[in-house]
Structure 1
């Protein structure tokens, strides 16, 4: 044979197994991201500051309105009440539905201590969802 014999070498065959190592690496990274971000998303207290851009009314299916005027008077659903009546009204609302939201409307000049007292009364009654109501900027 003048041209020689053409020998064919065996060509490597394609790999038929799936390499799952990159998939496991990606899934572990996603689990770590989820573990880090989950506690940050579990905030139950919504705050709306007075005259803020994001201060728009929230749609709440069930809520109780608590108001505080400049003199420190308390209003439950726009009716003047004392501290005992407030506690009784809030506990009745909690008894009806524990997921009831307290929408707190306080004048800017009300001392922070008075606002904390009303928040404490709501939490003592069993209402944990408290929202601060504010007006949008002019």
Structure 2
């Protein structure tokens, strides 16, 4: 008696019949597959429209002030003077959120020029200021 469920034929069968459970699971799986929304392959993107106005030199994320060895001041790779620097700083403070300002003086730049530029930045009330390029000095100390 290979197919007998109990020890003797007159004992009740103790195994759980899982066939109805499997049938219910298959029906639920089919219902789930049917109710999944159809995937669309088109992605709608609203592109910005150009209004023809010149772009602002103030970047929305971060701006870089660089001082070369001759004492020239650069704003995002464009040479500027003190007045233009202050105007750009004021324009960057008007943005929400305020963009980061990365300050990188050349190692050969005169301290007076670096101090003067830092004073302009401080008077402009810039709160997000970071010094870039300090790793070049790590072997000096």
TM-score of the superposed pair, with normalisation by structure 2: 0.49
Which has the greater radius of gyration? 2
